[in-house]
């Protein structure tokens, strides 16, 4: 029986964190003489459960309340009005997920202690995680390009102020630069660094997105969640192929995607 006092993400840590020991993990699971028997390797929160929470209207309302505390911009205002129109037309049966509701769901369910985000911009997504996990250690990487997406992009100090509005108390490190240079340097300096939740929303080129995933997937903890944005963006159709090849076809990840409306968002839970 799964005890309530056990960790939410994984019930037991063991050899399964090493990718080459899957068969050993299975053998231990069926050895009744083994202490702390664990048939399924302790992953109790799957991609589908997080996706369902992301689609819950209560999650959307909570995420909107967090965003309302932040400095508005055109994108946030549009997203709010889009959701309001969907609910006006369909009532509570309207279902929609984006990067904000997915991160809200992941933070609620996993209670992450560490979070990495590629593509911070004004800190809207990061603020959602910070509000739901206020003591989480957060690392963000961005180029802070002026006028990105034809909107003001004020920079790291602005993002710090946005997170403060939600009562964030954890460590925050905002790194400036290209993720393809910043990440290798970060992991060289801190080789044991790993994360409960990771967001990839930076370089949207085929090569760039693939490299971000290649760099970050090994840093995702067992039972952790990686969120990948814009999987169905009409200007970047290659992103869905990158996601399929890097994640969906890999058995070590369980994946979920929402692409009915909007530009699409996907998540994956690492199983081993």
Tokens, residue 106: 């992941």
Q: Are residues 31 and 99 in the same domain?
A: no
Q: For the stretch 54-68, what's the b/e string if a residue is b when 16 or more beta carbons lie within 10 angstroms of its beta carbon? A: bbbbebbebbbebbe
147 domain-assigned: yes
2 domain-assigned: no
1 domain-assigned: no
pLDDT given for residue 148 in this prediction: 72
Q: What is the DSSP string of 62-89?
A: HHHHHHHTSPP-HHHHHHHHHHHHHHHH
Residues 6+ apart with CB under 8 A from 32: none
Report strand pairing: 137-142 vs 114-118.
parallel
CATH number of the domain bearing residue 261: 3.40.50.150
109 domain-assigned: yes
Q: Are residues 25 and 151 in the same domain?
A: no
135 domain-assigned: yes
Q: Are residues 119 and 230 in the same domain?
A: yes
Q: Are residues 70 and 148 in the same domain?
A: yes
Q: Are residues 213 and 185 in the same domain?
A: yes
238 domain-assigned: yes
pLDDT given for residue 230 in this prediction: 95
Q: Are residues 29 and 78 in the same domain?
A: no
165 domain-assigned: yes
What is the residue range of 113's domain? 47-270
The total number of structural domains that make up the chain: 2
Q: Are residues 198 and 240 in the same domain?
A: yes
End-to-end CA, the chain: 22
Distance (Å, whole) CA 164 – CA 153 = 18
Q: Are residues 26 and 60 in the same domain?
A: no
Q: Are residues 16 and 92 in the same domain?
A: no
111 domain-assigned: yes
Whole-Å CA distances, 109 to 17, 40, 60, 119? 21, 19, 15, 23
Q: Are residues 35 and 52 in the same domain?
A: no
pLDDT given for residue 260 in this prediction: 96
Going residue by residue through the chain (272 aa), what tens digit of pLDDT does each one get? 343 333 344 443 333 344 445 555 545 445 555 566 677 777 899 999 999 999 999 999 999 999 999 999 999 999 999 999 999 999 989 999 999 999 999 999 999 999 999 999 999 999 999 999 999 999 999 998 887 767 788 899 999 999 999 999 999 999 999 999 999 999 999 999 999 999 999 999 999 999 999 999 999 999 999 999 999 999 999 999 999 999 999 999 999 999 999 999 999 999 98
**How many other C-beta atoms can be found within 10 angstroms of the C-beta atom of residue 96?**
19
Q: Are residues 11 and 54 in the same domain?
A: no
Q: Are residues 112 and 37 in the same domain?
A: no
Q: At what angle do helices 74-90 and 57-68 cross, to 10 degrees?
A: 150
């Amino acid at each position: 029986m799964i005890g309530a006092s056990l960790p939410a993400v994984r019930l037991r840590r063991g050899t399964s964190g090493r990718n080459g020991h899957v068969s050993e993990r299975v053998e231990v699971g069926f050895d009744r003489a083994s202490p702390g028997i664990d048939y399924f390797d302790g992953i109790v929160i799957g991609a589908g459960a997080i996706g369902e929470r992301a689609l819950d209207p209560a999650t959307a309302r909570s995420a909107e309340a967090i965003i309302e505390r932040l400095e508005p911009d055109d994108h946030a205002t549009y997203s709010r009005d889009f959701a309001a129109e969907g609910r006006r037309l369909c009532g509570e049966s309207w279902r929609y997920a984006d990067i904000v509701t997915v991160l809200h769901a992941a933070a609620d369910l996993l209670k992450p202690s560490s979070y990495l985000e590629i593509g911070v911009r004004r800190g809207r997504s990061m603020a959602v995680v910070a509000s739901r996990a206020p003591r989480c250690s957060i690392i963000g990487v961005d180029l802070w390009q002026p006028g990105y997406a034809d909107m003001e992009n004020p920079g790291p100090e602005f993002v710090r102020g946005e997170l403060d509005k939600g009562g964030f108390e954890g460590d925050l490190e905002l790194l400036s630069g290209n993720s393809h240079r910043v990440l290798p340097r970060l992991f060289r300096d801190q080789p044991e660094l790993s994360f409960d939740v990771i967001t990839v929303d930076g370089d949207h080129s085929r090569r760039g997105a693939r490299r971000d995933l290649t760099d970050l997937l090994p840093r995702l903890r067992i039972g952790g969640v990686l969120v990948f944005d814009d999987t169905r963006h009409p200007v970047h159709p290659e992103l869905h192929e990158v996601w399929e090849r890097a994640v969906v076809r890999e058995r070590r990840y369980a994946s979920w995607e929402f692409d009915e409306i909007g530009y699409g968002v996907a998540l994956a839970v690492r199983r081993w």
